[in-house]
Structure 1
Amino acid sequence: MTVQIPPDGPGEVLVAMRGGSESYAAYCATSIGWGVRVVVVDSLSARSVLVEPLPS
């Protein structure tokens, strides 16, 4: 995660793909702070994704 995700707006995540990584705007129903790993659960548009905290 490069920008924390607030409950009312986007944050930003880096998604590993094609041997590199790309940044996407990330949305979640709850806020997600620094150091929390996330999983992408849906693609909202070409450059935004829906994420959830990765279960530990």
Structure 2
Amino acid sequence: MYAADDSLQSPLGAVGKVTVPIPADGPGEVLVALRGGSEAFAAWCAGPVAVNTRVVVVDTFSARSVLVEPLPP
């Protein structure tokens, strides 16, 4: 039986939490639930986002860089 290679799973649509604040002009960091665990990504957003804010990944720039949007409270 063939097992899917989940190492290629995209973070697109995954929910995470900001661990390093995201400034308006640069990256912060998010911890995203992915592949049965959590992975850290450099994260950008249209505006600043505070630590512990829940976000969703809306785009990817590279394997370790994502664009996020805050989730409604």
- How far the C-alpha of 1:35 sits from its partner, in A, is 2.7
Structure having the higher Rg: 2
Asked whether 1:19 is paired with 2:36, we answer yes
- How far the C-alpha of 1:55 sits from its partner, in A, is 1.8
CA RMSD after TM alignment = 0.9
Picking from 56, 61, 67, the partner of 1:39 is 56
How far apart in 2 are the matches of 1:11 and 1:45?
15
| Identical residues among aligned pairs (%) | 70
- Return 5+ residue gaps in structure 1 as ranges: none
Aligned length: 56
What letter corresponds to residue 68 of structure 2 in structure 1? Answer: V
Under a length normalisation based on structure 2, what TM-score does the superposition of the two structures give? Answer: 0.72
- Secondary structure of residue in 2 paired with 1:2: strand
- Return 5+ residue gaps in structure 2 as ranges: 1-17
How far apart in 2 are the matches of 1:21 and 1:35?
15
